[in-house]
Structure 1
Amino acid sequence: MKALVKEVNKTLATERSRVEGLLAQDRVWAWETWRERYLDHPVTGSIGRRLIWQVSADRATWVTGLPEPAPDGWTLAGVTGPEHLVRLWHPVEADAAEVAAWRDRVAASGLRQPFKQAFREVYRLTPAEQQTRVYSNRFAGHILRYRQANALMRVRGWSAAYLGVWDGGYDSDATKEFASGSWQVTFGHEVAGREPHQIDIDFCSTDQVRFARRDGRRWELSPLADVPARVFSEAMRDVDLFIGVTSIAADETWADRGEHRFRDYWESASVGDLSGGAEVRRDVLARLLPRLKIGAQCELTDRFLQVRGSRAVYKIHLGSANILMEPNDAYLCIVPARGTPRVALPFDDDDRLSLILSKAFLLAADDTITDPTILHQLPR
């Protein structure tokens, strides 16, 4: 039985990753095929029944809804039948009001989606990217912990030559194919801050993101304006994830390194403007806080979750989870520990959101803190 459970969990993880990958495609299924593969299926059905889908009879008008059981099978948005087509809903193709409505519905219903869909980060072409035309500098200039970044790229399906001190090893392009191999995305990065005679690469700096369309066996560089909205958003979401997770800005202990060569970057990025992922985190917190026992002590600002404790007012950055204390924005270092509070989220765990919540619960009750490494940083 244990072996069977292990195998089923492995299959579920694989299916979840596969279905999430379909968000980058405008894939359409016939009604009966969709119902067989994504609702009635004994494994994938547990994923498909918690997702938002769209249905159409003519490929022109799409109606959005959650699947609901009916006496004669499944219904979606009040319609059913072999003449209908079905596809996954993606928030990049919806307006702000529709996205907000679905987030409200998912959060209110207690539905836990297998991956972020209603609360998915959305990335659209910016005026600056229209000017640069064939490349994006949106995520350029960040300093990443290289080994962690490279490992995360591989987990997300990107391939890249490893950086090193050999000839040609000072820069690399991570690549990934999207939309069943119709598009290829390239994310440039290079060695950063290597000391003389240092062999191992500790840090890399980020560069441009480019898109290419398949032309037979070749890849043709494409203007960003020609990239399908789903492909563009999903690719940029991955790159944003690499930076959000592996940037040195998220390193709790960086303030203890003194005048390090990346100190200026850390100070600006660790409490800087929010990324797409952090913006979604803010939206989730706005819905969660009223239901939490510490909600009355918390307030959301443009970049921070502000927590009123007995000793001070704390500002937790929604991107890096770093903490500043009012009134002079003194930095407070709290190294993450186990014991994160269990808070129901409308999607699979967001590690950074869980970290922010654990810090908020700790600081809201700062009069009970006994850890000397924290106490000596707090005002008396």
Structure 2
Amino acid sequence: MLGLDVLAAIGTETALMHLHGISQTVRFRGLQEQARAKVRVVADRLALTPEQLADRLVPSLGLSADGTLLLDYGHRRFWAGFDEQLRPYVTDAAGKRLAALPKPGAQDDAQKAAAAYARYAALKKDVRTLARDQLRRLETAMAGRRRWIAAEFRAHLAGHPLVGHLVRRLVWGVYADGALVAAFRVAEDRSLADSDDREMVIADDALVGVAHPVELGGEWSEVFSDYEILQPFPQLGREVFTAAGAELPTWAENRALLALEKRGWRRGDPGPGGQQQSIGKAMTGDVSVELELSPGIPVNNRHDVWADSQELSAPRVTVGRRRNVPLAALHPVIASELLRDLATLTAAR
């Protein structure tokens, strides 16, 4: 755990960003819990939640307020922008998208062009890991029903030079008493608009979140299609499941179970025989689910001693201190996300 201690002790935004990334993505439960504990300590010191801390750790990468970067060659000028996956691209002075940033030429200012060319290369490298983390954070926020105070949403999401590119490609909601009361998108000028393109104004203390398709009607798909807005992850086209009549898998191939780790599932600690006999996921801060596996997966991952598949228990859902909560008692968004994960176990057969 020394590496985690070093990151926490360094305390810079970059170090804390890496520490938070470990707390969310590492596949070893013990290491993940240690990282999360250290993130909580730092967040508590700043009177923030770990999620609020993560919002504040995203670097702007030197982008302008509109989320672009000027690449000045002296004789020529180009601008870097970002697509729906936060992959950088370049446009020329006429706004035409180019296949790549041109190499400096004889008519360009040698010093300016070399610096701009190197700056763009560094940007592509810097944004690679950042992009993956930000897409994951926003999709997790939708699946886990995270909410932001509108003032923080404007400051750290819609108004962020990098994250704003993702924000404008999603449908957002205003919530009261846990229910969606209005949906909106963020336009290029950062104004808010409903599905009829009417401008919306929301109070600074309103609760805002990434809307889930369980809560939305079909009109938003038409809006995004009309504007040719590509989404960073499945939102409007996301599969929706309901607890009523859900068919739960009773067995799964090992490769399908291990693929769940890419969706945030983690194998449990090994038992006395060295077998990991459970896999689980924290759906939200107080909702978790666990599947029992039989015969289990050897902790040494030796494929020659694996069974090809595992028998599965019914999902054991815990909400706060309540255990064995039925799926029908979960919020429809949480139930849909859980069943969406489980559906991959049968789809892989």
Q: So what's the TM-score if we normalise by structure 2? A: 0.55
**Partner residue in 2 for 1:91:** 213
Q: Is the 8 A contact 1:163 1:201 kept in 2?
A: no
For residue 266 of structure 2, give the secondary structure of its aligned residue in structure 1. Answer: coil
How far did residue 61 of structure 1 move?
6.3
How far did residue 34 of structure 1 move?
0.9
How far did residue 155 of structure 1 move?
2.1
**Aligned to 1:80, which of 192, 201, 214?**
201
For residue 41 of structure 1, give the secondary structure of its aligned residue in structure 2. Answer: coil
**Aligned to 2:153, which of 19, 30, 34?**
34
Please tell me whether residue 223 in structure 1 is matched to residue 326 in structure 2. Answer: yes
Change (3 A) 1:69 1:161: closer
Identify which range, 48-57 or 75-84, moves more after superposition.
75-84
**Aligned to 2:248, which of 138, 149, 159?**
138
One-letter code of the match for 1:64? A
- Equivalents in 2 of 1:221, 1:229: separation in Å? 17
How far did residue 62 of structure 1 move?
1.3
Identity %: 23
**Partner residue in 2 for 1:201:** 306
Please tell me whether residue 185 in structure 1 is matched to residue 289 in structure 2. Answer: yes
- Equivalents in 2 of 1:32, 1:52: separation in Å? 17
- Equivalents in 2 of 1:212, 1:55: separation in Å? 27
Q: Is the 8 A contact 1:211 1:227 kept in 2?
A: no
**Partner residue in 2 for 1:175:** 280
Residues 331-376 of structure 1, C-alpha deviations (whole Å, 9 max, x = no match): xxxxxxxxxxxxxxxxxxxxxxxxxxxxxxxxxxxxxxxxxxxxxx
For residue 267 of structure 2, give the secondary structure of its aligned residue in structure 1. Answer: coil
**Partner residue in 1 for 2:182:** 63
- Equivalents in 2 of 1:41, 1:125: separation in Å? 37
- Equivalents in 1 of 2:180, 2:306: separation in Å? 52
The 5-angstrom pairing of residues 335-346 of structure 1 reads none
Residues 197-236 of structure 1, C-alpha deviations (whole Å, 9 max, x = no match): x943252135222211122xxx622122221222111122
- Equivalents in 2 of 1:241, 1:56: separation in Å? 30
Change (3 A) 1:48 1:242: farther
Q: Is the 8 A contact 1:55 1:64 kept in 2?
A: yes
**Partner residue in 1 for 2:99:** none
**Partner residue in 2 for 1:364:** none
For residue 305 of structure 2, give the secondary structure of its aligned residue in structure 1. Answer: coil
For residue 220 of structure 1, give the secondary structure of its aligned residue in structure 2. Answer: coil
Residues 20-51 of structure 1, C-alpha deviations (whole Å, 9 max, x = no match): 00113333322221112221112211111100
Please tell me whether residue 149 in structure 1 is matched to residue 256 in structure 2. Answer: yes
Change (3 A) 1:228 1:61: closer
For residue 139 of structure 2, give the secondary structure of its aligned residue in structure 1. Answer: helix
Change (3 A) 1:211 1:8: same
- Equivalents in 1 of 2:342, 2:157: separation in Å? 29
For residue 323 of structure 2, give the secondary structure of its aligned residue in structure 1. Answer: strand
How far did residue 118 of structure 1 move?
0.2
Change (3 A) 1:36 1:25: same
Residues 136-185 of structure 1, C-alpha deviations (whole Å, 9 max, x = no match): x52224x42x2x33442222221114999x8473x7221011212x0111
Please tell me whether residue 240 in structure 1 is matched to residue 308 in structure 2. Answer: no
- Equivalents in 2 of 1:231, 1:21: separation in Å? 11
One-letter code of the match for 1:75? L
Q: What do you get for the CA RMSD once the two structures are aligned?
A: 3.0
**Partner residue in 1 for 2:317:** 211
Q: Is the 8 A contact 2:317 2:326 kept in 1?
A: yes
Change (3 A) 1:76 1:56: farther
Residues 116-149 of structure 1, C-alpha deviations (whole Å, 9 max, x = no match): 000011111124x6xxxxxxx52224x42x2x33
- Equivalents in 2 of 1:58, 1:140: separation in Å? 36
**Partner residue in 2 for 1:53:** 172
How far did residue 76 of structure 1 move?
3.4
Change (3 A) 1:56 1:204: closer
For residue 187 of structure 1, give the secondary structure of its aligned residue in structure 2. Answer: strand
- Equivalents in 1 of 2:335, 2:236: separation in Å? 18
Consecutive unaligned residues of structure 2, counting only runs of 5 or more, are 1-118, 297-302
One-letter code of the match for 1:139? P
Please tell me whether residue 158 in structure 1 is matched to residue 265 in structure 2. Answer: yes
